[in-house]
Amino acid sequence: MTDWKWEWTPGVGVGPIKFGTPIEEYIERFDLKLRVSEGTTSTGLGSYTIQDFAKSVATDLGKVESVECEDYFGFRGKNLIGMSEEELITHMGSDPDKIGVGVLYENGSVQTPFEYDGLGLIVWFEDEKLISAAAMEIIDD
C-alpha cells in the first residue's frame, strides 16, 4: 500500500515525485489519470490526477513541472493542509512573498493564493484555512 502522506523537499519534489523527471516513470506506479493533455490550454501544461483528485501532477514537455496536494502536504514534520494563515506563516518562518487577489469560483467559494517564490511554493486559502498546496522546481532568474 502506498503512503499518501507525502513530504515536500523544496526544489526536489513532493513525496516520491521528483521535479524534472519524465512523467512516464510515475504513470503505472501511481495509476495516474490524464486530465489535460499538454498544449491544449493557455498554459500549455499537461495534468494528471492521483488518488481520486486529491493529488495532481502538472507536466511540461513530458516532465514533472509541479505537484499539488489537497489531502496532505508535509513540510518540516507538519501537514500544511488545514493550517490557518498565522500557523502557516509561523511554520514557514516568514511572510509569503506575495498574497494574491482572491478568486471567486462558480460554487461561491473565494480562494486566496499565498506565494513563497524562493521555495517554489503556492498555497490556497479558503475560509481562512489552507486547502491546497503546490510545489514546483525552483528556477533561478
Q: Give the single-character DSSP code of 101.
A: -
Predicted confidence (pLDDT) per residue in 49-86, tens digit: 987 768 999 999 999 999 999 999 999 999 999 999 99
Can you give the pTM of this predicted structure? Answer: 0.90
Q: Is 13 left (phi over 0), alpha (psi -120 to 50) or beta?
A: left
Contact 64, 18 (CB under 8 A): yes
CA separation for the pair 83, 12 (Å, rounded): 23
Contact 30, 50 (CB under 8 A): yes
Cα dist from 84 to 125, 129, 138, whole Å: 8, 5, 25
Give the chain's residues under pLDDT 50: 1
CA separation for the pair 41, 12 (Å, rounded): 26
Helix, coil or strand: residue 3? coil
Helix, coil or strand: residue 77? coil
